[in-house]
Structure 1
């Protein structure tokens, strides 16, 4: 995990510019077909279109591993993390629901 976490945090630090009137957040998607978790860095300046930059694909398809990775990310950054594709799933350790709402297209 340290290599995944290190790679993601380095890429976040490189992209996060702290510009005025710009919203930044992370998105984690559950790719059930490829059995991977994908991380994206999203940002949107006021009045402009959304930009989404792929950060990393985690091939260790284990929720326990992902939970530890997210814990490390939360220690590194205060950015909001949005989850997509995790409806009905819970974190193995904390037992908290991962994704509160369904995607709009379902």
Structure 2
């Protein structure tokens, strides 16, 4: 387990440029790439969530499903009659990712991400 800490610069995006002659100047660099998708922030919140350190509200349904609500979306865990465990995470934008865990007859476990 690692407790990640966000870096907090006094001068965000500021870089020191040293010329070949040894002269120093400073520049502020900003992205201007018109990204069509911003992407996931790599920060303390994201890294702590990867380790399971994230606040949630959990409910157990009468049908055996488990619903976990996070600030980033909802995780639904379903137990199928064949023994498979299906976990589906849906974020606020409607994107989903599913992990199916299968307990094989030879004692091995298979996991498929879709």
Tell me which protein shows more strand as a share of its residues.
Answer: 2
Provide TM-score, normalisation by structure 2: 0.27
Tell me which protein shows more helix as a share of its residues.
Answer: 1
Provide TM-score, normalisation by structure 1: 0.29
- Which is greater in Rg? 2
Which has the higher relative contact order, 1 or 2, with Cα contacts under 8 A spaced 6 or more apart? 1
